[in-house]
Structure 1
Amino acid sequence: MKEQKLTSLVNEMTLDEKIAQLTQLATPFFKGASDGGQITGPMADMGITDEMIENAGSVLGASGAKEVKNIQRKHLEDNRLGIPLLVMSDIVHGYKTIFPVPLGIGCSWDLELAEKSAEIAAKEASASGVHVTFAPMVDLVRDPRWGRVMESTGEDPYLNSEYARAFVRGFQGNDLTTEKDRVAACVKHFAAYGAAEGGRDYNTVDMSERELRENYLPAYQAALDEGCEMVMTAFNTVFGIPATGNKKLMRSILREEMGFDGILISDWGAVKEMIPHGVAEDEKEAALKALTAGVDIEMMTSTYVKYLKALVEEGQLDESLIDEAVQRILTLKEKLGLFENPYRGADEELENEIVMSAAHREASRELAAKSAVLLKNEGVLPLKKDQKVALIGPFAENGDILGPWSWLGSKEDAVTVKEGFLQKIDPSQLAVAKGSDIETITEEQIKEALEAANDADVIVLALGEDSDMSGEAGCRADIKLLGAQLELIQRMKELGKPMVSVLFNGRPLDLHGVWDQTDAVLEAWYPGTEGGAAIADLLFGDRNPSGRLTMSFPYSAGQIPVYYNHFNTGRPKGAPDAQERYVSQYLDIPNSPLFPFGFGLSYTEFTYGGMKLSREKMTCEDSLEISVTVTNSGSVSGEEVVQLYVRDVSGEVVRPLKELKDFEKIKLEPGESKEVSFIIREEQLRYHHSDLTFTSDPGTFIAYIGGNSRDAMEKSFTLLK
Structure 2
Amino acid sequence: MINPLKLFYSSAIAFTVMSACSDNTPFRDLNKNGKLDVYEDSHESVDNRIDDLLKQMTLEEKAGMLFINGTRINSDGSLDDRPGEGMFAFAPIAPKLMTEKYMTHFNVWAVPEKRALATWYNNLQKFAEEKTRLGIPVTIASDPRNAFSNNIFSMTANDFSQWPEQLGFAAIGDEKLMEQHADIARQEYIAVGIREALHPMADLATEPRWPRISGTFGEDAQLSAKLIKAYIKGFQGTTLDSNGVACMTKHFSGGGPQKEGLDPHFEFQKGQVYPGKNFNYHLIPFEAAFEAKTAAIMPYYGVPVDQTNENVAFSFNKDIITGLLRDKYKFDGVVCTDWGLITDAKMGDIVWPARAWGVEKLSEEERVLKVLNAGVDQFGGENCPEHVIKLVKDGKLTEARIDQSVRRLLRQKFELGLFEDPYIDVENAMAVVGKDEFKKAGEDAQRRAITLLKNSAAKGKNILPLEAGKLKIYIKNINPTVAAQYGEVVSKPEQADIAIVRLNTPWYPVETKNFFARGFHHGDLDFKGTQKDSILMLLKTVPTIVDIYLDRPAVIPEISEKAKGLVADFGASDNAVLDVLFGKAKPEGKLPFELPSSMDAVRNQKEDVPYDSKDPLYKFGHGLHY
TM-score normalised by structure 1 residue count: 0.68
User: Deviation of residue 261 (structure 1)?
Assistant: 1.0
Aligned amino acid, residue 65 of structure 1: A
Instruction: Quickly say closer, same or farther: Cα 1:317–1:163, change in 2 above 3 A.
Output: same
User: Deviation of residue 253 (structure 1)?
Assistant: 0.9
User: Deviation of residue 6 (structure 1)?
Assistant: 0.6
What residue number does 1:234 align with?
Answer: 300
CA contact (8 A) 1:32 1:73 kept: no
Quick one: which of 288, 302, 310 aligns to 2:369?
A: 288
CA contact (8 A) 1:23 1:302 kept: yes
CA contact (8 A) 1:28 1:37 kept: no
CA contact (8 A) 1:92 1:135 kept: no
User: Deviation of residue 533 (structure 1)?
Assistant: 2.5
User: Deviation of residue 83 (structure 1)?
Assistant: 0.6
Q: Distance in 1 between matches of 2:356 and 2:469?
A: 64
Q: Distance in 1 between matches of 2:239 and 2:478?
A: 43
- Residue 515 of structure 1 aligns to a residue whose secondary structure is helix
Post-superposition Cα deviations, 1:460-511, rounded to whole Å, max 9, x if no partner, equal: 112225999899862322212465543332332343x321111124111011
Instruction: Quickly say closer, same or farther: Cα 1:600–1:567, change in 2 above 3 A.
Output: closer
CA contact (8 A) 1:144 1:507 kept: yes
Kindly tell me the number of residue pairs found equivalent between the two proteins: 530
The RMSD of aligned alpha carbons is 3.2
Q: Distance in 2 between matches of 1:19 and 1:565?
A: 37
What residue number does 1:256 align with?
Answer: 327
What residue number does 2:501 align with?
Answer: 461
Instruction: Quickly say closer, same or farther: Cα 1:44–1:543, change in 2 above 3 A.
Output: closer
Q: Does 1:364 align with 2:442?
A: yes
Quick one: which of 535, 539, 542 aligns to 1:493?
A: 539
Q: Does 1:597 align with 2:623?
A: no
The aligned runs of 1:420-431 (5 Å cut-off) are 420-423=482-485, 425=486, 429-431=487-489
User: Deviation of residue 532 (structure 1)?
Assistant: 2.3
- Residue 559 of structure 2 aligns to a residue whose secondary structure is coil
What residue number does 1:694 align with?
Answer: none
CA contact (8 A) 1:32 1:75 kept: no
Post-superposition Cα deviations, 1:151-177, rounded to whole Å, max 9, x if no partner, equal: 011111111111111111111123432
Aligned amino acid, residue 310 of structure 1: K
Q: Does 1:479 align with 2:519?
A: no
CA contact (8 A) 2:257 2:607 kept: no
Post-superposition Cα deviations, 1:16-69, rounded to whole Å, max 9, x if no partner, equal: 1100011113223999964624587895799x9766546212011076211111
User: Deviation of residue 75 (structure 1)?
Assistant: 2.3
User: Deviation of residue 420 (structure 1)?
Assistant: 5.0
Aligned amino acid, residue 140 of structure 1: L
| Structure 1, unpaired ranges of 5+ | 398-417, 433-447, 570-589, 604-721
Q: Distance in 1 between matches of 2:205 and 2:245?
A: 26
CA contact (8 A) 1:32 1:71 kept: no
- Residue 237 of structure 1 aligns to a residue whose secondary structure is coil
Q: Does 1:87 align with 2:169?
A: no
- Residue 147 of structure 1 aligns to a residue whose secondary structure is coil
- Residue 193 of structure 1 aligns to a residue whose secondary structure is coil
CA contact (8 A) 1:154 1:551 kept: yes
- Residue 452 of structure 2 aligns to a residue whose secondary structure is strand
Post-superposition Cα deviations, 1:122-143, rounded to whole Å, max 9, x if no partner, equal: 1111101100011100101112
CA contact (8 A) 1:464 1:481 kept: no
What residue number does 2:426 align with?
Answer: 348
Q: Distance in 2 between matches of 1:287 and 1:277?
A: 14
Quick one: which of 381, 386, 392 aligns to 2:464?
A: 381
Aligned amino acid, residue 301 of structure 1: E
What residue number does 1:309 align with?
Answer: 389
Q: Distance in 1 between matches of 2:185 and 2:46?
A: 30
User: Deviation of residue 363 (structure 1)?
Assistant: 1.0
Instruction: Quickly say closer, same or farther: Cα 1:355–1:568, change in 2 above 3 A.
Output: closer
- Residue 187 of structure 1 aligns to a residue whose secondary structure is strand
Q: Distance in 1 between matches of 2:99 and 2:331?
A: 28
Aligned amino acid, residue 385 of structure 1: A
Q: Distance in 1 between matches of 2:568 and 2:610?
A: 28
Q: Does 1:300 align with 2:342?
A: no
Q: Distance in 1 between matches of 2:276 and 2:421?
A: 44
What residue number does 1:140 align with?
Answer: 204
CA contact (8 A) 1:466 1:505 kept: no
Aligned amino acid, residue 265 of structure 1: C
Aligned amino acid, residue 146 of structure 1: W
What residue number does 1:74 align with?
Answer: 127
Post-superposition Cα deviations, 1:290-333, rounded to whole Å, max 9, x if no partner, equal: 11112211122234x12112211222112111001000010000
Q: Distance in 1 between matches of 2:610 and 2:504?
A: 32
Instruction: Quickly say closer, same or farther: Cα 1:15–1:369, change in 2 above 3 A.
Output: same
Q: Distance in 1 between matches of 2:120 and 2:508?
A: 28
TM-score normalised by structure 2 residue count: 0.78
- Residue 207 of structure 1 aligns to a residue whose secondary structure is coil
Post-superposition Cα deviations, 1:352-381, rounded to whole Å, max 9, x if no partner, equal: 212222211211122112211111110211
What residue number does 1:278 align with?
Answer: 359
Aligned amino acid, residue 220 of structure 1: F
- Residue 327 of structure 1 aligns to a residue whose secondary structure is helix
Q: Distance in 1 between matches of 2:197 and 2:596?
A: 32
The percent identity for this pair of structures is 27
> Could you tell which deviates more after superposition, 273-282 or 114-123?
273-282
User: Deviation of residue 262 (structure 1)?
Assistant: 0.9
Aligned amino acid, residue 547 of structure 2: V
Structure with larger RCO (C-alpha < 8 A, sep 6+): 2
CA contact (8 A) 2:199 2:248 kept: yes
User: Deviation of residue 419 (structure 1)?
Assistant: 5.3
Q: Distance in 2 between matches of 1:347 and 1:220?
A: 35
Post-superposition Cα deviations, 1:574-600, rounded to whole Å, max 9, x if no partner, equal: xxxxxxxxxxxxxxxx92111111111
Q: Distance in 1 between matches of 2:607 and 2:255?
A: 20
Post-superposition Cα deviations, 1:231-250, rounded to whole Å, max 9, x if no partner, equal: 11211112311111111111
CA contact (8 A) 1:370 1:546 kept: yes
User: Deviation of residue 226 (structure 1)?
Assistant: 0.3
User: Deviation of residue 119 (structure 1)?
Assistant: 1.4
Quick one: which of 55, 60, 78 aligns to 2:102?
A: 55
What residue number does 1:392 align with?
Answer: 475
Quick one: which of 543, 556, 573 aligns to 2:585?
A: 543
> Could you tell which deviates more after superposition, 259-268 or 199-208?
199-208
> Could you tell which deviates more after superposition, 58-67 or 508-517?
58-67
Instruction: Quickly say closer, same or farther: Cα 1:320–1:32, change in 2 above 3 A.
Output: farther
Quick one: which of 529, 543, 547 aligns to 1:502?
A: 547
Instruction: Quickly say closer, same or farther: Cα 1:467–1:277, change in 2 above 3 A.
Output: same
